[in-house]
A and B are shown apart, each in its own frame.
Chain A
Amino acid sequence: MQQTAPSHHRRSLAYSASGDRVFSVIIALLASGVLILAVLMAWELYSGGADPIRRFGLLGFLTGTEWDPVIKKQFGAWPYVLGTILTSIGALLLSFFPALGAAIYAAEYAPRPVAVVINYLLDLTAAVPSVIYGLWGIFIMAPFLRDHFYLPTYLWAANHAPGLLPFLGNPSGYGLLTAILILAAMVVPFTAALARDAIALVPAPQREAAYALGATRWEVMQMAVLPLSRTGIIAGAFLALGRALGETMAVTMVIGNSHKLPYTLFGGAATMPSVIANEFTEAVEPLHLESLIALGFYLFIVALVLNIVGGLIIRRQAALARGVL
């Protein structure tokens, strides 16, 4: 089509829009800068971590259970991979339904002023720096859990079911469960905001159609709203998972930082981001530092994949919602 356009027309267009041209070139350069940055980051992480990946194997590095920078100089990331999986999946499971409930309430049930407040608070809590969550976790949540939940449970188990003790672990307050709980609190606003947006995408005529059939609010949700927003809600969960995987500061502050397997419910654990944050300052051995960078590489890839998948699902849902308009 463009080739067949008369040439004088195209020239005059270019002439009148020369300012536009310059501007579009500039923003194209800036935009490609972001892309280049991402590619360079992936490349740097890969080349920086290539040595341990080659030495222990692409999968062997992930599945090796020994992380010993001092004596054996052996680097297997499994304790951190496991810790990351446990904390992020655990956080997702704990946060998903409360977040969905908040989203449904804010989008469909709450009176207008209440919905405004909820939405504002969701956005606000999503923006609180994670170190604040961490501080709160260290000074308030962890001691509280220790005194009112971990210790009583531990003492009860010691008296009545000593078989459970090895699974419970040291009830110091700083450990796996505390990390899961704080992560769950952190991803709730994230999941809820995305679910709310997915629900809002459902076209009003779909809702009205259900109401016109004599549906109650819940039936409208069930029949018209949730089927159409389901994919978007799931995509939100993916993105929240990506966030939970990469969350560093708050987790590092409360997880107890122990990579001794097997992990216990109350006892210390560690995640990929937390070990990077903890060890990079004292990683004097090149192989140690490179192993940390390799961890970063894997994290980068997983986060990338989760974000791409989540983004694709959200786009598909938006298209579906438009398609039925």
Chain B
Amino acid sequence: MEETSVPKFFMRDGALELSSTKELVHLEARDLSVYYGKRVGVGRVNLSLYRNRVTAFIGPSGCGKTTFLRSLNRMHDLTPNVRVQGQVLLDGSDIYGPGTDPIQIRRRIGMVFQKPTAFPTLSVYDNVVAGLKMVGLRDRKRLDEAAERSLQQAALWDEVKDRLRAPAAGLSGGQQQRLTIARALAVEPEILLMDEPTASLDPISTQAIEDLLGTLKQQVTIAIVTHNMQQAARISDYTAYFLNGELIEMDSTSKMFTKPNDKRTEAYITGRFG
């Protein structure tokens, strides 16, 4: 297991020039393929997520970026007829290895979905601490602290602190999405996977969540699927471009958006395609 020894000045800012410095690999996919029945969803992807960095997955619809993202915390286990091949190394050990418990993996690698998935009948508070209660945390004070801390992190605390007991269904879409982020953060995951988290949100909520990512990455490693290239450029340190189930290239975001290596990446980024 690698120790985090990222110097303080690293943490303050996901500065682009840092990409030349030695980054710490947090999660690494090796020759990862996902099959839907006989059809290939993504084929032989090799990609690393770096510790305390935001990596954006971009590419046209159906290119496999979401499929790939979902293979990183074994969400495909839940779907029949989906087969995953290859390795995903979390701090060096394969999450698909024998004897690995997917439930433990998902507690370390959280996920936020495209549509807000707050549990509508549970209260705001119960939503946030749902994951903590699952691991057996019952101590009122610690739950309260965790709820406040996660809601602060998700930039939602001020809006909901007076209605923690109200059902989550009463929140707006943008608030519900930040609530699911708070819920994912409450269990203190090491990695957060986000599947187009702002796709169904208004610009203001989108802004709130984008602002959030900059501070969040001080604690967690983030992978985010997005359709919005400006968003990828704004928030990510690294960008990976997927096309037809393949990883075309991945590099620091500044390089990807200025002088990508591959013609196809350039075509997509300049809007001539996709």
Contact = CB atoms under 8 A, between A and B. Distances in A.
Contacts of B187: 213-214
A216 B103 contact: yes
B16 interface: no
Looking at chain A's contact residues, the main secondary structure is: helix
B117 interface: yes
Contact of B113 (A209, A214, A230): A209
Interface stretch (B72-80, B153-161, B203-211, B255-263): B72-80
A223 interface: yes
Interface stretch (A21-29, A56-64, A292-300, A317-325): A317-325
Nearest to B108: A214
Residue of A209, A210, A224, A228 most packed against chain B (CB within 10 A): A209
Interface in A204-219: 205-216, 219
A211 B101 CA distance: 13
Contacts of A216: 103, 134
Interface of A: 112, 205-216, 219, 223-224, 227-228, 230, 320, 323-325
B214 interface: no
Contact of B134 (A205, A214, A230): A214
Interface in B116-144: 117-122, 130-131, 134-135
A67 to B, nearest CB: 47
B183 interface: yes
Contacts of B221: none
Contacts of B121: 227-228, 230
Given A208-B117, A211-B78, A214-B134, 19 more contacts: A206-B117, A206-B119, A208-B75, A208-B111, A209-B180, A212-B75, A212-B110, A213-B107, A213-B110, A213-B130, A215-B131, A215-B134, A223-B130, A223-B134, A227-B120, A230-B121, A320-B120, A324-B117, A324-B120
A324 B169 contact: yes
A214 B120 contact: no
A227 B168 CA distance: 13
B34 to A, nearest CB: 16
B184 interface: yes
B115 interface: yes
B106 interface: yes
Contacts of B105: 214
5 contacts: A209-B111, A213-B183, A214-B104, A214-B107, A228-B120
A214 B73 CA distance: 10
Nearest to A215: B134
A216 B107 CA distance: 11
A227 B119 contact: yes
B117 A209 contact: yes
A209 B130 CA distance: 11
A215 B134 CA distance: 7
A114 to B, nearest CB: 13
Contacts of B78: 207-208, 211
A126 B251 CA distance: 60
Given A209-B113, A214-B187, A223-B119, A323 B169 contact: yes
Contacts of A215: 103, 131, 134
A208 B113 contact: yes
A320 B187 CA distance: 28
B75 A211 contact: yes
Nearest to B121: A227
Contact of A213 (B104, B115, B134): B134
Contacts of A323: 120, 169
